[in-house]
């Protein structure tokens, strides 16, 4: 029996890395193949902004395999790291940097992540789907978590995407319509089940596969997800990637609050370093308006959506749990976000 394996990786496009993928036909994969059953593969790095034409071969190292809901049973999506010919990580390989921080000690924290991925659905005219040809929709207000054809733009894509994320076995947590019309969110990460791990590598790999599936499903509609931090200028919400984070110590009823306090102190000191990897065009989004804190300020608060870090009300009440870093923008790389947070709380650099 032959099946198809879609090898997915991140290219070297600047300033925002893009997804690439190609298909390999493999035999005897079975229902639940092991990672080892997917061979290393190579690609032309000169066509992905990753190497010069005269020395173009780069390696794809499979790191995470899930079911392929597009092609169905017996087919798989294979997230890969990009390696140089000598087996060392390519300079564009942000996942390798995350592994480095984990191996240096962050693994001991038993950290869990949850990424809230916002995006805007664009149509073939490169405008938010269903927006009027001239002028703008009604001002923001009625669209967040709305229902009804007059306030909902693009739901079929969202429904389809959610379905395939579940079928793939991704850690999808939920979805909602966002504040700007045609803007949506899905979350990937901790879901409260002891059966699954919401560790840094799993949640970030799943986050990238979920983005790939969103683009892929979009092809069926002629629509493209837009991950810009501020896709529409003016009085319209930007798109973020709130990152929820906990460790075994923040989740410990005996020392949750005090650990969160320590982490907040460390995060404040490294604010600039975080902003540097939290997305391109982030200054247009973190203005202090539209549920954000100004990019030059670091503020933490309970249930306050104008903060850099929000402690959920429920967490403040019980004294342990997780917190939300509201700074990351929609186009930030989850590998870089997770690596930065873990580096900061472990004093890696
Ligand atoms: P918001 O109220 O900010 O919109 P959402 O409901 O969109 O929040 O998302 C909540 C996120 O918090 C999810 O991504 C979920 O995985 C994450 N989360 C919940 N509990 C934890 C935890 N203990 N550690 C890490 N992340 C968590
Ligand atoms: Mn949310
Ligand atoms: Mn949101
Ligand atoms: Mn949030």
SS3 assignment, position 183: strand
Domain ranges in the chain are: 2-92, 113-345
Q: Mean pLDDT across the stretch 157-177? A: 98
**What's the Cα-to-Cα distance from 70 to each of 8, 66, 217, rounded to whole Å?**
14, 12, 8
By C-alpha distance, which of 190, 183, 230 is closest to 206?
Answer: 190
pLDDT of residue 297: 97
For 19, the token pair is: 């997804």
Question: Is 186 near ligand 1, meaning CB less than 6 Å away?
Answer: no
pLDDT of residue 15: 97
Question: Is 324 near ligand 1, meaning CB less than 6 Å away?
Answer: yes
Would you say domain 2-92 falls under CATH 3.10.20.70?
Answer: yes
pLDDT tens digits along 192-215: 999 999 999 999 999 999 999 999
Nearest CA residue ID for atom 8, ligand 1: 116
Is the N-terminal amide bond of 15 cis, ω within 30° of 0? yes
Residue 55 has pLDDT above 90, yes or no: no
Rounded to whole angstroms, how far apart are CA atoms 341 and 36? 30
How far is C-alpha 40 from the chain's CA centre?
25
Q: Are 227 and 119 in contact (CB under 8 A)?
A: yes
| pLDDT-derived band at 125, boundaries 50, 70, 90 | confident
Would you say domain 113-345 falls under CATH 3.30.590.10?
Answer: yes
Residue 302 has pLDDT above 90, yes or no: yes
Q: Which atom of ligand 1 is nearest to the CA of 321?
A: 23
| CA of residue 101 to ligand 1 center, whole Å | 23
Q: Which atom of ligand 1 is nearest to the CA of 245?
A: 25
Q: Mean pLDDT across the stretch 228-241? A: 97
Residues making up the chain, counted from first to last: 349
Question: Is 187 near ligand 1, meaning CB less than 6 Å away?
Answer: yes
Q: Which atom of ligand 1 is nearest to the CA of 188?
A: 14
**Which ligand neighbours the alpha carbon of 326 most closely?**
4
| pLDDT-derived band at 56, boundaries 50, 70, 90 | confident
pLDDT tens digits along 215-234: 999 999 999 999 999 999 99
């Amino acid at each position: 029996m032959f099946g198809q394996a879609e090898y997915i990786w991140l290219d070297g496009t600047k300033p925002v890395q893009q997804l690439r993928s190609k298909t390999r036909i493999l035999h005897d994969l079975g229902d639940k193949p092991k990672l080892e059953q997917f061979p290393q593969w190579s690609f032309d790095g000169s066509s992905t902004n990753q190497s010069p034409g005269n020395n173009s071969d780069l390696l794809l190292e499979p790191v995470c395999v899930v079911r392929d809901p597009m092609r169905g049973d017996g087919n798989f999506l294979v997230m890969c790291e990009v390696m140089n010919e000598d087996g060392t990580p390519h300079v564009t390989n942000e996942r390798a940097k995350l592994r480095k921080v984990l191996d240096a000690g962050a693994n001991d924290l038993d950290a869990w992540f949850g990424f809230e991925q916002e995006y805007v659905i664009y149509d073939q005219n490169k405008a938010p789907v269903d927006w009027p040809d001239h002028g703008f929709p009604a001002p923001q207000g009625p669209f967040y978590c709305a229902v009804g054809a007059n306030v909902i733009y693009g739901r079929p894509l969202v429904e389809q995407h959610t379905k395939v994320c579940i079928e793939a076995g991704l850690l999808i947590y939920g979805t909602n319509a966002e504040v700007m019309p045609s803007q949506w969110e899905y979350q990937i990460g901790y879901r409260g089940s002891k059966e699954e791990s919401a560790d840094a590598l799993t949640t970030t790999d799943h986050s990238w596969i979920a983005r790939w599936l969103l683009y892929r499903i979009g092809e069926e509609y002629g629509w493209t997800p837009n991950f810009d931090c501020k896709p529409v200028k003016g009085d319209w919400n930007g798109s973020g990637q709130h990152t929820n984070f906990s460790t075994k110590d923040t989740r410990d009823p005996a020392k949750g609050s005090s650990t969160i306090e320590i982490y907040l102190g460390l995060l404040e000191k490294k604010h600039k370093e975080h902003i540097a990897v939290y997305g391109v065009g982030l200054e247009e989004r973190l203005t202090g308006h539209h549920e954000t804190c100004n990019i030059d300020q670091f503020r933490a608060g309970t249930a306050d959506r104008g903060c850099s870090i929000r402690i959920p009300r429920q967490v403040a009440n019980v004294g342990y749990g997780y917190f939300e870093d509201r700074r990351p923008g929609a186009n930030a790389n989850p590998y870089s976000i997770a690596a930065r947070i873990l580096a900061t709380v472990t004093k890696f650099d």
